[in-house]
Every structure is written in structure tokens, then in C-alpha cells.
């Protein structure tokens, strides 16, 4: 019978300890030689005092500190200044949002009007109205069919050319019953 593996214990062995410790542990090894303050020296002189590990300090910090930040306690003028800045920031954000929305709407309307114009013109670039105004015949012959450019623009060919087709799949909560159909072709 093989003895149990000690590979996991190697992390705790002083022989196998590597130089790359977690950052929380680095303070334990690298000793500060020159004192920053006299208090530290005095504390070091006190015998029998246990030095708290930094990891423990960090764990304690995160256990004691709640997620909710403490409430803002300001003086009257300070609170009013804070309120003013807050209102201005909110106003700025809402204006930014509004301008982006308007820009999107403008782009959408422009695209829609372009498509509409394409739908109405024939291969000579004339709409039916213009054609009647110019006195051209209304019949659509071979070269001047109406809306050809529109139909070409509406084609969805090679939309996913540069992108993996998997990105076109709609995200669902659960996988499909029959898996991915790798044999699918158009």
C-alpha cells in the first residue's frame, strides 16, 4: 500500500517555501530594520508580547467592517456644498444619457429614411413621382426595377462572417435537450 501523498504539506515545509509568497504574508518575512517611530521600539522591548500576524489583521478588518458605508456626517455648509455637487453631477449624467439617446434616435431615423429612399428609387435613381414629373414611362423594364438596392441592403448574407456563429445563439437558462447540432448547414 502506498503511503499518502505529502504534496499538499509541502507548502508548509520550510525547505520547499518559495520566494513568491502572497502579498499579505510578505510583511511577516521582510523585517523593517530602521524603526519608523519610537513606539515600535518600545513595543519590541516589551517581552512576551505576541506580534499579530498581518493576515489575521486583514481578516479581522474585513470581518469587522460592514459592507454599508458609514453615513455622511457633515456640517451645514459642507452638507449643502455636497448636495450642490451631487445635484450637478446627477444633472450632468442625465444630460449625457439624454444626448446619447437622442444621438441613437437620430442615427436610427437617418438609417430608416435612407432605407425608405432606397426602397422607392429604381436603377436610374428616380422615384415614381419624379418619373411621372419627368414624363418617363411608368413601366418597370429590365434595368429600372424599383427597390433593387433596398432588397440588396436588406440581405443578411455574411452577417456573422467575422464572428463565431455561436455568438448568434440566444442565451437561455438551460442547455437544449438535443445539444448542439454540429452537422447543421444553411
Partner 1 sequence: MALQRASRPVARCVRQSNLLNKRTLATTTIEPGFTDAAPPPPPSAPPSRTRNPLTASTPAAEKQLAQQRQVPVGSRRRRAALASTTQIPFVQLPYQCFQEARAFLREDRQEKLEAIRAQRDKIARLGDQVVVGEQDGEVERRKQREKENRVRSMGRRLAEMKVLADINDPVVKKKFEDGQSDMSKPIYRHLADAKWRSYKRVLLLQRLTQMHVMPDVLPALDPVVSTELAFPTSANSTTSKLRSVHHGDFVPSALAEHAPTLWIQPYDQGTRLCTIVVVNPDVPNVEKDGFDYRCHYLAVNLPVSPTDTRVRLGEVESQRKGDVILDWLPAYAQKGAPYQRMSIIILEQPSPAPTLTSPFGTAAQSRVLDVNQITEDPRYITRQGFKLRSFVDRYSLKAVGADLFRTKWDEGTAGVMQRAGIVGWDVEFLRKRVEPLPYQRMGGERYR
| Residues near partner 1 (CB under 8 A) | 77, 80-81, 83-85, 87-89, 91-92, 95
Contacts of 148 (CB under 8 A, 6+ apart): 122, 123
**Shortest Å, Cβ 101 to partner 1:** 18
**Shortest Å, Cβ 75 to partner 1:** 11
**Shortest Å, Cβ 98 to partner 1:** 12
Task: Return the number of the residue (65 or 81) whose C-beta is nearest partner 1.
Answer: 81
Task: Return the number of the residue (52 or 77) whose C-beta is nearest partner 1.
Answer: 77
Instruction: Report the distance separating Cα 136 and Cα 159, nearest Å.
Output: 38
Task: Return the number of the residue (95 or 151) whose C-beta is nearest partner 1.
Answer: 95
Contacts of 91 (CB under 8 A, 6+ apart): none
Task: Tell which residue, 142, 104, 140, has the closest CA to residue 120.
Answer: 140
**Shortest Å, Cβ 78 to partner 1:** 10
Length of the chain: 186
DSSP class of residue 64 equals H
Instruction: Report the distance separating Cα 144 and Cα 56, nearest Å.
Output: 82
Task: Return the number of the residue (89 or 180) whose C-beta is nearest partner 1.
Answer: 89
**Shortest Å, Cβ 82 to partner 1:** 9
Contacts of 153 (CB under 8 A, 6+ apart): 115, 118
Count of CB atoms within 10 A of residue 123's CB?
15
Task: Return the number of the residue (78 or 169) whose C-beta is nearest partner 1.
Answer: 78
Amino acid at each position: 500500500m502506498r503511503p499518502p501523498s505529502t504534496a499538499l504539506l509541502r507548502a508548509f515545509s520550510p525547505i520547499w517555501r518559495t520566494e513568491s509568497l502572497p502579498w499579505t504574508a510578505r510583511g511577516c518575512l521582510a523585517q523593517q530594520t530602521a524603526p519608523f517611530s519610537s513606539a515600535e521600539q518600545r513595543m519590541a522591548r516589551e517581552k512576551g508580547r505576541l506580534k499579530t500576524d498581518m493576515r489575521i489583521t486583514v481578516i479581522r478588518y474585513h470581518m469587522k467592517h460592514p459592507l454599508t458605508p458609514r453615513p455622511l456626517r457633515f456640517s451645514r455648509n459642507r452638507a449643502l456644498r455636497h448636495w450642490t455637487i451631487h445635484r450637478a453631477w446627477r444633472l450632468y449624467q442625465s444630460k449625457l444619457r439624454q444626448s446619447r439617446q437622442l444621438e441613437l434616435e437620430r442615427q436610427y431615423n437617418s438609417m430608416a429614411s435612407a432605407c425608405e429612399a432606397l426602397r422607392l428609387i429604381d436603377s436610374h435613381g428616380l422615384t415614381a413621382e419624379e418619373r411621372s414629373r419627368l414624363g418617363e414611362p411608368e413601366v418597370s423594364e429590365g434595368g429600372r426595377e424599383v427597390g433593387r438596392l433596398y432588397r440588396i441592403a436588406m440581405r443578411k448574407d455574411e452577417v456573422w462572417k467575422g464572428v463565431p456563429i455561436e455568438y448568434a445563439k440566444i442565451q437561455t437558462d438551460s442547455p437544449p435537450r438535443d445539444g448542439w447540432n454540429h452537422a447543421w448547414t444553411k
